[in-house]
Structure 1
């Protein structure tokens, strides 16, 4: 089949499967949570709620004053503001005072001196030439001086005596050093060339026959050696700007005294402070709109930049819900005391449900919101930024819900330390009775945040289908109904899945992927085999008939391929999260069940029938869309393929591992996974290291006969033979005698590796 047709079929099959899955999943509330159109809805909803809350808290004392009125009271600034005009003026003055930075390029002088040495060498060579011609002289010396110098001047320079020429070249070096040590800028190049020409022409040590040659040489080769360093200049200018302290009007500072005449400057300042005008003022609305946008943009911006596109729709609704809940809690509790505001509760939730980096971003966003509620008091900013970071630092990867209580204790400690530090640095006595209630609220704030986070976490996990580390640990429990059923009904598949989990987890750690998610996904990737366990070789009893012997290749392939669909159905019935179901759907991608396809092709050829369609023997996909599911695909093929090796030496194991990875890569199965070639090399090395340890050489114990021990039990097959029979039968082969398979594979180690890697990647 042409490549174009194959790729087109692959895309259509995958899109079709996605469409069918989406239609069954997106209904009712699920549509609101997962639809691509819902991202805009949730962002807008969050923005509306936050903006309303900000507007309600922004309204300061309203003054009804105009220019020329007499102020009846002292007017103090309700918040700290910066005089932007004066501050920017000072910054620009400081930046203009910075000198331009240039770098001296020593290579310019080195090149000029080295070419002068080359001229001296070429002149000596020409003098020693027996049949010297003008053409020879010109062709040798022309590259040094360019096209403008006449041939006669070049010949005259070559005819200059050796001592005179050497002296002239030596003086030329001195002139070059003198000029370039001083430095030449781009804009000064013409002046420098003119100066050099004058020095050459007027130097008594340079004969007139050699002077035109040197003048032409400098015109051709002299260039600027002082290079403008834009980056360093801009950095110094930025440092100069940053060194300017902003001109501030402090909170509480009197901006208009009682009895003072209101001037135009007063009006502008009061307007900037939002203290003028009756009713709904545009400044209040504008401030609420802009601050609301900033508060919402921080978490939503993180979502757009750092969250994969496959999770972005769900992430929008999740982040919106956490933001609205936290904003309402902060607004409500801050009415009692700003120090009781549960900012860290939202930080704990976001760090657990999304990741720690998002927790820091979310903490900053909510602290900014609290600052608006409290008139931008720096104390609250410092205290809650510190406690937010402390909570994130304690929440590494919480595997138990009780870990959130430790984060709550860290929040209380950070609150107290930062509050005490602020007081001491400001010269405030922290043991004054007036601040004791603040200490009480700060201590209680940590446990309150932990309780709120623990209480709401199950809700978010269930409603938004979120896989937190805590939930992943619960899903990995062998007593989970699906895993327990897999162990009882398909024990071979269960143990295969455990081994795949070990391989995939180590590889995920090595490349920086989510190792816990990868391991749990490995446990469930073959769950569909419990519907027909006897059709898969790892669950068959050795020596009994292989059911595939009685089926045609097409039907066998359909049965094998169906375990993916069966697994998805079982997972949905058991309410397995979507991120785990992705491993079930993608762990085979659109790979070819090669043995049955080859068998069907041979049968069709023998019967002179039409060749089978390749896509009837390929999995429906989709191909792996994440690094984690791609790693499980590779681990699945590698684990079973290495078991098919009769002599699993380290070299053969590595050969099989790398062949399977190469085959998946060539088959475009990894195109959507974001795995790099470097990642694949690390994964191959990790697989090889672990499998080499698994199949390490064991001590050969003496037989019971030699020890004089009676044997009343049947001898079992060795692990190598069982593995070969497993892989060959699974591929649809007729090898029932594992000993025969071992002999055949032993005759050709290379073919053994290729067969294991090639066929088992299409295993069910």
Structure 2
């Protein structure tokens, strides 16, 4: 526990408090049930609206055409889609344009040289001995083609060695020259014929030797220019991968009126779901998943950071903002191009909640935009950048001009993002240079802001929500209810001003909404207007106290009824629900201890009934927000300190801590999010402000006369 917090709660009291279970008043039980029902109602409604929007986007309007039909209408793509047939044709063309990868096989020439050497050695071996005819033919036939007769082979063996060596040298020269240029399989016959011709025309070689060498070429020459199938396939694969898919963009014509529907166009219509089964289960599942994901993320965030939403009208506001945003984006995306006010919902959320929630809501709206536009990167990038900009530039103490200014900042950001998409090649530069698209991008931000400004009063009127603008209007002393309070219960009015000063300072110190706390304090006691003189601050000095002639039970009933009276007056003057919460919760379920003790003292007789404590407790509910809790504490502290005869800083601090501790031990602060550390800060702030209000004045001696 924090050191300062130990001043608030002593250890035995903390242990005793931990053992006690939270007891809910009937008012709080009913409030819990109503809050749960609101959660289910608005959550279900938001899910259904979002699901239907997604489903309509994923299930476009069907068309009744077949291949070969003449289209009676223009058919446009409802979302971006890849033209599979056109893309495949381009890929096939790209692969066909890649030439075959041929390469020389050096082993062919080496093998031929080896065979030539073996052929020459076989002839030399025969010439060195006295072989028979059959031995000569058997030794040389494997080197020569079938066109070489036996007599030609015998004549070759009888050739002079010098002439044979000259012929072999010429053969090697011809082979090297032919193979160096490369010989393909389909050119092998012509290459053989060219080499045989070269050998036959060589004057230094006898005819019978040239014939034998030509036969050798015919028998042994092979193609050395071979196809590298692996390399060819690799290059073609690269060419295919480099082909960009042919994209049909949202709004682009697929079939024009009067055109004959082709197989390619029909394939696109099938891919888009415009032809075929009316309901695709994948689309239904996708719409359900996306809707549940977005609502789930928002629910988890609110539970963690804004739990008070689930007990207030803000839940209805948020659900309405979500539904309006989804329907607006889904409805306008198909018709207005980039003029989809995705930033409108973000501005509303950031202004009604906080900027962090605005950032999260921006991500959700980006997902919505992607779903209804076929995840077009242009729309998603603009929705995300616009939403983030709108939520981050909006000030916490915003007004309508701040909203408009945020819209123009969104326009600048989105324009820069769109140009960047074109320069990086993510979006075709021609699209970026289109004046119509650029105009839509630039107008979208201010349009979103104007729409947000226009919707705010509608939400205020429909749900009674509070905005800084509305709070400033309510804080005007000329407001009918405050004006009545000033005229009919001036003491209460002054007390409310003092409480407002305390509450504002404490709320600001703990990071709560200080403006809301101040305005809530102005209205917390307006119920005293109905019976002002039953409250001590409005009693004129010397007048009789009406409670002296009333029973304690009746007095307690009259005193506690100012809460119910205040709610009736607030509803009559159409005061927002958030301010009504201050009226209902500023006493929680506290005990009217003065009248209870008085009743208990009066029941000292033998047969007297001991008063029920619950009859002397306020109906509640107890404070559910930091702001209403701070006003409760400020209300009690201000009244108590005002009754001190000598309000020194030490006595003020002691009384402040006692008052806060009493309410803490009475479980009045169990339902709000105030921590012990924050209570200590509140105590210190109250002490500082009250010490300034009730400081002891110096008594100046009377000026002596001469």
The answer to whether the Cα contact below 8 Å between 1:338 and 1:374 also exists between their aligned partners in 2 is no
The answer to whether the Cα contact below 8 Å between 1:590 and 1:622 also exists between their aligned partners in 2 is yes
TM-score by length of 1: 0.59
Q: How many residues matched?
A: 505
The answer to whether the Cα contact below 8 Å between 2:378 and 2:427 also exists between their aligned partners in 1 is no
The answer to whether the Cα contact below 8 Å between 2:556 and 2:595 also exists between their aligned partners in 1 is yes
Which structure has more RCO (C-alpha within 8 Å, separation ≥ 6)?
Answer: 2
Q: 1:432 to 1:582 in 2, by over 3 A?
A: closer
The answer to whether the Cα contact below 8 Å between 1:54 and 1:292 also exists between their aligned partners in 2 is no
Aligned residue in 2 for 1:488: 487
Aligned residue in 2 for 1:43: 46
Give SS of 2:544's match. coil
1:663 shift after superposition: 1.0
2:26 to 15, 33, 44: 15
Aligned residue in 1 for 2:85: 73
Question: Pairwise mapping of residues 326-345 of structure 1 onto structure 2 (< 5 A)?
Answer: 326-345=325-344
Aligned partners of 2:426 and 2:371: how far apart in 1?
25
Verify: 1:612 aligned to 2:623, yes or no: no
Aligned residue in 2 for 1:142: none
Aligned partners of 2:612 and 2:473: how far apart in 1?
43
Structure 1 residues not aligned, in runs of 5+? 65-70, 78-247, 256-269, 710-764
Aligned residue in 1 for 2:55: 52
Give SS of 2:591's match. coil
The answer to whether the Cα contact below 8 Å between 1:303 and 1:312 also exists between their aligned partners in 2 is no
Aligned partners of 1:663 and 1:537: how far apart in 2?
22
Aligned partners of 1:374 and 1:72: how far apart in 2?
19
1:285 shift after superposition: 3.8
Q: 1:35 to 1:328 in 2, by over 3 A?
A: closer
Aligned residue in 2 for 1:558: 557
Aligned residue in 1 for 2:589: 590
Question: Pairwise mapping of residues 199-278 of structure 1 onto structure 2 (< 5 A)?
Answer: 252-253=244-245, 278=276
Q: 1:609 to 1:285 in 2, by over 3 A?
A: closer
Aligned partners of 1:410 and 1:676: how far apart in 2?
38
Aligned residue in 2 for 1:729: none
1:625 shift after superposition: 2.2
Aligned residue in 2 for 1:662: 661
Aligned partners of 2:557 and 2:705: how far apart in 1?
52
Give SS of 1:688's match. helix
Aligned partners of 1:620 and 1:378: how far apart in 2?
56
Question: Pairwise mapping of residues 174-573 of structure 1 onto structure 2 (< 5 A)?
Answer: 252-253=244-245, 278-280=276-278, 281-308=280-307, 311=310, 314-426=313-425, 434-573=433-572
The answer to whether the Cα contact below 8 Å between 2:270 and 2:276 also exists between their aligned partners in 1 is no
Name the Cα RMSD after superposition. Answer: 3.9
Aligned residue in 2 for 1:716: none
The answer to whether the Cα contact below 8 Å between 2:503 and 2:518 also exists between their aligned partners in 1 is yes
Give SS of 1:386's match. helix
Residue deviations 1:390-410, cap 9 Å, x none?
Answer: 111222225422321111111
The answer to whether the Cα contact below 8 Å between 1:295 and 1:365 also exists between their aligned partners in 2 is yes
Give SS of 2:466's match. coil
Aligned partners of 1:251 and 1:456: how far apart in 2?
47
Moved over 6 A (4+): 248-251, 270-277, 427-433
1:494 shift after superposition: 0.8
Aligned residue in 2 for 1:673: 672
Structure 2 residues not aligned, in runs of 5+? 1-15, 68-82, 90-239, 248-267
The answer to whether the Cα contact below 8 Å between 1:63 and 1:276 also exists between their aligned partners in 2 is no
Aligned partners of 1:434 and 1:371: how far apart in 2?
23
Aligned partners of 2:687 and 2:485: how far apart in 1?
27
Aligned partners of 1:690 and 1:63: how far apart in 2?
81
- Higher mean displacement: 35-44 or 484-493: 35-44
Residue deviations 1:350-392, cap 9 Å, x none?
Answer: 2223332222222222222222333323233222211111111
Aligned residue in 1 for 2:188: none
